[in-house]
Amino acid sequence: MNIILLGPPGAGKGTQAKRLIDAYGIPQISTGDMLRAALKEGTPLGLEAKKYMDQGALVPDSVVIGLVKERILKNDCAKGYMLDGFPRNVSQAEALDKMLGDLSQKIDHVVCVEVPNEELIGRLTGRRTCRSCGAGYHVMFDPPKKEGVCDKCNGELYQRDDDNVATVTSRLRVYDEQTKPLIAYYEKQGKLRRIDGVGDMADIFARIKAVLG
């Protein structure tokens, strides 16, 4: 099963992806995580991407399309995968359709997680992530037992560089202008599954499972 997780910054795509990996045994392909990993390694691609990410802008299509093209050919994607944060505009969606057509693959479901903007800002500015294992937390909604320390591996928790109010505001605007048109794009293809992304994380997961079957 091939899935796209669509939704604004802070909708809970990463949070729900972690649960979906365990339930369906398919990998999460997050272009945001891949770009942050490239930056951490100090590759030219990572350093170039940082300029855009820090402003809340989209990284050029050619960069992310190239990353996804390479990633979906890996062995662990043979039984399916979940795209998180890709595609993010219509030209990426068209490139994905072309790429999958060439491989005789297709997207089965586009899970669109809907959360109002007022809630997204609080979610993003309070997000913390483990530097070692990548586990996600929120200072109020999902706090670690000990402040700044990962429950799972004792790693250090950090705040993403793009989770400040100014950058979050641009990310939300970019979502509205460039990514939202994908809702109509996939509705037209009959693949869109709208999910209410407000409420308990476990309840939202149950809503997603109900549409995926």
Mind telling me the catalytic residues?
13, 88, 127, 160, 171
Closest to ligand AP5 by CB, 24 vs 52, is 52
Measured distance CA(121)–CA(104) in Å, rounded: 39
Query: According to CB under 6 A, which residues from 97 to 116 bind ligand AP5?
Result: none
Closest to ligand AP5 by CB, 104 vs 170, is 170
Distance of CA 73 to the CA centre of its chain: 19
Measured distance CA(106)–CA(86) in Å, rounded: 14
204 contact choice in Mg ion, ligand AP5, none (CB below 5 to 8 Å, kind-dependent): ligand AP5
Stretch that binds ligand AP5, among 9-17, 21-29, 101-109, 146-154 (CB under 6 A): 9-17
The binding site for Mg ion (CB under 5 A) comprises 14
Closest to ligand AP5 by CB, 1 vs 198, is 198
Compute how many other C-beta atoms are within 10 angstroms of the C-beta atom of residue 179.
22
CB of 78 to ligand AP5, least distance (A): 23
CB of 16 to ligand AP5, least distance (A): 7
Is 11 an interacting residue with respect to ligand AP5 (CB under 6 A)?
yes
Site string for ligand AP5, 192-211 (x = CB under 6 A): -------x-x--x-------
Would you give the end-to-end CA distance of the chain in angstroms?
Answer: 11
185 contact choice in Mg ion, ligand AP5, none (CB below 5 to 8 Å, kind-dependent): none
Is 27 an interacting residue with respect to ligand AP5 (CB under 6 A)?
no
Which residues are at the interface with ligand AP5 (CB under 6 A)? 7, 9-15, 30-32, 35, 52-53, 56-59, 64, 85-86, 88, 92, 123-124, 127, 136-138, 141-142, 162, 171, 199, 201, 204
